[in-house]
Amino acid sequence: MSLLQVQDLQTHLNSGGEIVRAVDGVSFSINRGETFCLVGESGSGKSICALSVIQLLPAGIASHPSGSVNFDWRDNEGSGESIKVDLLTLEDEAIRKIRGASIAMIFQEPMTSLNPVFSIGDQIVEAIQLHHPELSDAEAKSQAVEALEQVQIKSAASRFDDYPHQLSGGQRQRVMIAMALACKPDLLIADEPTTALDVTVQAEILSLMRDLQAQKGMAILFITHDFGVVAQMAHQVGVMQNGKLVEQGTTQDVLTNPQHAYTQQLLAAVPENLEKSAVHKADYNQSSPGLMSIAGLKVWFPIRTGLFRRVSDHLKAVDDVDLTIRKGSIMALVGESGCGKTTLGRAILQLEKPTAGSVMLGDQELTGLSTDQLRPIRPRMQIAFQDPQSSLNPRLQIVTTLTEPMKAHGIGESQDERIERAIKVLDQVQLSEDYLWRYPHEFSGGQRQRIGLARALVTNPEFIVCDEITSALDVSVQAEVLQLLLEIRQQRDLTLLFITHNIAVVEYLSDETVVMKAGKVVEQGLTADVCGNPQNPYTQKLLSAVPRLNLSK
Amino acid sequence: MTKRSQQSMSYGKRILSSAFSGWGARIGLTWVIILAFVACFSPLLANSMPLLASENGQVSMPILSYLTAEDLMLMVLFVVVLLLWKMPLKFSTKAAVASSSALIALLVGLAILSPPKTIIYDQFREKAAAGSYDWQVLPPIPYSPSDYLRDIGGNNSLKAPMVTEKQFHLMGTDSAGSDVASRMIHASRVALSIGFIATGISMIIGIIIGGQMGYFAGRFDMIGMRIVEVFEAIPVLFLLLAFVAFFGRSVYIIMIIIGVTGWSGYARYIRAEFLKLRKQDYVQAAIASGLPLRSILFRHMLPNGIAPVLVVASFGVAAAILTEATLSFLGLGPVEASSWGSMLNEAVKSSVFNWWMAAFPGGAIFLTVFSYNLMGEALRDAVDPQLSRKAGLVT
């Protein structure tokens, strides 16, 4: 007897007279104590599916023309016997009793899912008392502390009165889990709970969830886009595409022997499975001269305190970094969030003023130059950004975005010639020329990243900093962009500094790898050496935390 | 409207179309357009001279010799803006065409038009009475604002509206005997131009100072904010009173003072926007591409940060109109032209309360300020992504 049975679920979203079939005839079931992973790319309807189960979609917009969500409801107050209820047709009052008590949910963003004005203890106590009004304050508090201990928050009793801003992202996600588990639900819905976290924290949270599941025997509906996480967590997997469940089965079956073409395509796009082209390997020449030489680079931000804003300390974002990036190579810069990798990238391009040290592009010293002195050097080094939403000016047509840098540096005689060049570059990033006359909001995330890359390419740079350019993209799009990058590098003899937190991408793409932690470089060398045989304990920890597709491990 | 066409619209057009989709903003816009029409064509709408007259078989336009260069410029500007409205041109091209044609009209007007210093309004009525015109076309309101109707005879002052004795007055007459409707029409110019020019001056100063504060941040920002605070501490009305006492009651001085003291709010808004935009990736990319500072500030940052400033500006126009009305009500308004505020002042001064002297100018001030506020509200709602994304559903 399964705990949750979703049958032919349809969820239609009505926006401005248009009906979007967000979930279109999805059926699956989850047994007690089992984890079901819904996996799919953004917009595939996996979150909407989960929200339909817990009935959290706005009533005016969402409707369910057909289907049923049968849940085996064991009323906590009653005798413990279970009744079968259809969540889609249940009244609000009853749903509210189920929500939190029998079905709990945790969300992706740990920064916004806790209320910042209440202490974490109060928020858990509130959840407990809502479903168990008979408990006294002291009892509820002791249960809350117990819940915090369960999710392995150290000295839980003393952290009871902490506010969300005093906790790190991983701790917040633990508190969210504690809150969701405080009422001992039968089903936990986890909507990308680790996507916003660093790999090492992600590994901890995932193992915590597995342990808790084993202890309590609850079922988990786990939503993710990451096949590595699927391999670690799921008993059953469902692959969603455009609102439809295209394939489901046991994790072993789906990952090792995918039947549906879409699943095969998705799995092939995972960086671990991408085939390295033979050319790419042969291309790297270890004896080629250094293009970018960085010596003793420091970027310190002053921390000012007191009435007179005296500098009391420094935040050492980049602390004494030495690097040589060889001409024609791809250097990957990895590290967890806040380790200073983005700051280093910007400091190299002089977008952030270094506190000390030297950055040489060829024979040209870049530090200490004024804005005007830097301007003629700018076209030789470019940057591409992470967020496809903010990397293009929303008010400018693509043609302006691409031709303006050329105009500023006197590339091309006339506007027509510059447009010609822009078309050529667009062609290189595999976009058609009529895209020139459109605005950024008309493009998808992957297209915008290509345009961002095109903008970096129009000035014929020798060196490009790619700042997490694939982090916001779906795996299949990521694969396309990575392959594109390798192609362009070959055509143009480019040197890249590729900043990322994704180890799999590093292994696929880069020739050399640099690992950063707290502003310092802890390990650097050839990618095969660093990833295959890490020497530094931090690198080892980082690599072991990466969720691998390989099931045999 | 289909989704496709909405997608291909630029950001500015999307904001405007969503702002003016509500009835409130449309009513406001309609009133302002009517007002602009009345202000631009006021000599043709309310004047004592005939628009067209036939004298001994010779058709002439007596009104032409009394038009000033300013009148010509405003009329040309209105017509050009109306023609450009739906043209598929860039906003900057439109603005350039409109302002250059207005400038040309002003220069041409200064060169060829020479209106007489003093006008004897009675002569046209005398001519008409004497039958020297075969026929004539009079403006809808056949009285100039400063035509005291001395030739009509008898006491012509303070007549109630729509009381037909010898002459028909739509809104009655004031204590001097001139037509209130005519004065209202001519005063709309002062109201509109004060609003636009004063706000324009403060916006330009605010954007330049606030933009640099936001972009350079640090020490520059610190000093700038202190200057902003100094300007915010100035009581504008008292400064205006002092200036008017020293330099005379000129409408231009009033515009400049309101403009020069009112920029602090705009500077604050632009600064906040620029501080935010400075770290945006596309601005960083512009810096990394080595674009000149002018382009970074005005092409990449300003269009993305201007929206909240436009909202404040529409409230600022309303506030400037009110300030001028307040000054005129206190009897310190511009002398060279009548304004709604000074008409209200006259209504209060009179020993008996003549409702038409208070209701019409008061109503006009109210409607104008209300219209700008309606448009400001609508713009603010359209600019705010939190409000425009009413669905609240993000997948």
The answer to whether A286 faces chain B, any CB pair under 8 Å, is no
Which segments of chain A belong to CATH 3.40.50.300? 4-113+186-269, 278-289+327-352+366-545
**pLDDT tens for each residue of A410-463:** 888 888 899 999 999 998 888 888 888 888 888 888 888 889 999 999 988 999
Task: Mark yes or no for CB contact A383/B288 under 8 Å.
Answer: yes
For the segment B212-237, the average pLDDT, to the nearest whole number, is 89
What's the pLDDT band for B7 if we cut at 50, 70, 90? Answer: very low
- Between residues B141 and B213, the one the model is more confident about: B213
- Residue A552: predicted pLDDT: 47
pLDDT over 70 percentage in chain B:
91
Q: What is the pLDDT of residue A382?
A: 92
Rounded Cα–Cα distance for residues A247 and A295 (Å): 52
Q: Inter-chain contact A61–B391, Cβ cutoff 8 Å?
A: yes
Q: Is A422 on the interface with B (CB under 8 A)?
A: no
Give the closest of B284, B303, B393 to A395, CB-based. B303
* A-chain residues near B305 (CB < 8 A): none
- Asked whether the predicted pLDDT for residue B8 surpasses 60, the reply is no
The residues in A 373-402 lying below 8 A from B, measured between CB atoms, are 374-379, 381-383, 385-387, 390-396
Question: What's the pLDDT score for residue B389?
Answer: 46
What are the chain A neighbours of B393 within 8 Å (beta carbons)?
Answer: 13, 15, 57-58, 61
Three-class SS state of B229: helix
The structure tokens 């709408």 sit at B45
A409/B contact by beta carbon, under 8 A = yes
Confidence of residue B103 (pLDDT cuts 50, 70, 90): very high
pLDDT of B134 strictly over 70: yes
B11 vs chain A: nearest CA distance in angstroms? 6
CB A26 within 8 A of CB A69: no
CB contact under 8 A, B286 and A393: yes
A95 touches chain B (CB under 8 A): no
From A137, A166, A172, select the one nearest A153 (Cα to Cα): A172
From chain B residues 235-294, the ones with a CB under 8 A of any chain A CB are: 280-282, 284-293
- How close A379 gets to chain B, by Cα (Å)? 6
The pLDDT value recorded for residue A236 is 92
Residue B392, pLDDT score? 36
**What's the topology of domain A4-113+186-269?**
Rossmann fold (3.40.50)
- Res B394 pLDDT > 60: no
CB distance B288–A381 less than 8 Å? yes
CA angle A387, A393, A397 (to 5 degrees): 125
Decide yes or no: CATH 3.40.140.10 for domain A278-289+327-352+366-545.
no
CA distance A385 to chain B (A): 7
Q: Do B289 and A374 touch (CB under 8 A)?
A: no
Q: Are A378 and B290 in contact (CB < 8 Å)?
A: yes
Per-residue pLDDT of A80-115, as tens digits, reads 677 888 888 888 888 888 888 889 998 887 778 888
Q: Comparing C-alpha atoms, which of A95, A89, A21 is closest to residue A54?
A: A95
- ipTM of the prediction: 0.78
- From first to last of the 553 residues of chain A, give the pLDDT tens digit: 688 999 999 999 887 678 888 898 899 999 988 999 999 888 888 888 998 998 888 877 888 888 889 988 876 555 567 788 888 888 888 888 888 888 999 888 777 888 889 999 999 998 888 888 888 989 999 989 988 888 888 888 888 888 888 888 888 888 988 888 888 888 999 998 888 788 888 888 899 889 889 888 899 999 998 888 898 889 999 999 988 999 999 998 998 889 999 999 888 888 887 776 544 555 566 677 888 899 999 999 888 877 777 877 888 889 889 999 988 889 999 988 888 888 999 999 998 889 999 999 888 899 888 888 999 999 999 999 888 888 888 888 888 889 999 988 888 888 889 999 999 999 888 888 888 888 888 888 888 888 999 999 998 899 999 998 888 888 888 888 888 888 888 888 889 999 998 888 888 888 899 999 988 999 998 888 888 889 999 999 988 888 887 654 3
CB-based contact, A225 to chain B, within 8 Å: no
Q: pLDDT at position B172, please?
A: 79
User: Phi/psi class of residue A136: alpha, beta or left (left: φ > 0; alpha: ψ in -120 to 50)?
Assistant: beta
Q: Report CB contact under 8 Å: A349, B303.
A: no
A492 has a chain B CB within 8 A of its CB: no
Give the C-alpha separation, B95 to B377, whole Å.
25
Identify all chain A residues contacting B90, using CB atoms and an 8 Å cutoff.
none
8 Å CB contact of B290 and A376: yes
Handedness of CA B210, B213, B216, B220 (dihedral sign): positive
Q: Which residues pair with A188 in a beta bridge?
A: A104, A220
Give me the helix-helix angle, B307-329 and B264-278, nearest 10°.
170
**What is the model's pLDDT at position A189?**
93
pLDDT greater than 60 at residue B385: no
Find out whether A472 and A386 touch, Cβ atoms under 8 Å.
yes
Question: DSSP class of residue A70?
Answer: E
E strands, B72-190, in order = 133-137
Q: Which residue has the tokens 């700018």?
A: A378
State the pLDDT at residue B9.
57
- Helix axes of A169-181 and A120-131: crossing angle, nearest 10 degrees: 20
Collapsing DSSP to helix, strand or coil, A23 comes out as strand
Residues forming beta bridges with residue B284, ordered by sequence position: none
Three-state SS across B317-361?
Answer: HHHHHHHHHHHHHCCCCCCCCCCHHHHHHHHHHCCCCCHHHHHHH
Whether B154 and chain A come into contact, CB under 8 Å, resolves to no
* pLDDT exceeds cutoff 50 at B1: no
Could you read off the pLDDT of B142-187 as tens digits, one per residue? Answer: 888 877 776 666 666 777 777 666 677 778 787 777 888 888 898 8
Which residues, other chains included, contact A530 with Cβ-Cβ below 8 Å and sequence gap of 6+?
A513, A515, A523, A524, A539
Angle, alpha carbons A179-A181-A183 (nearest 5°): 95
pLDDT at B164: 64
pLDDT band at B3 (very low <50, low <70, confident <90, very high): very low
Residue pLDDT, tens place only, B304-357: 888 888 888 888 888 888 888 888 888 877 777 778 888 888 888 777 778 888
CATH number of B24-42+161-388: 1.10.3720.10
From A377, A395, A439, residue closest to B304, measured CB to CB: A395
In whole angstroms, give the CA distance from residue A39 to residue A224. Answer: 5
Is the pLDDT reported for residue B388 higher than 70?
A: no
- Point out the residue among A43, A58, A351 whose CB comes nearest to the CB of B393: A58
Contacts of A383 in chain B (CB under 8 A): 284-285, 288
Closest alpha carbon within chain A to B305: A395
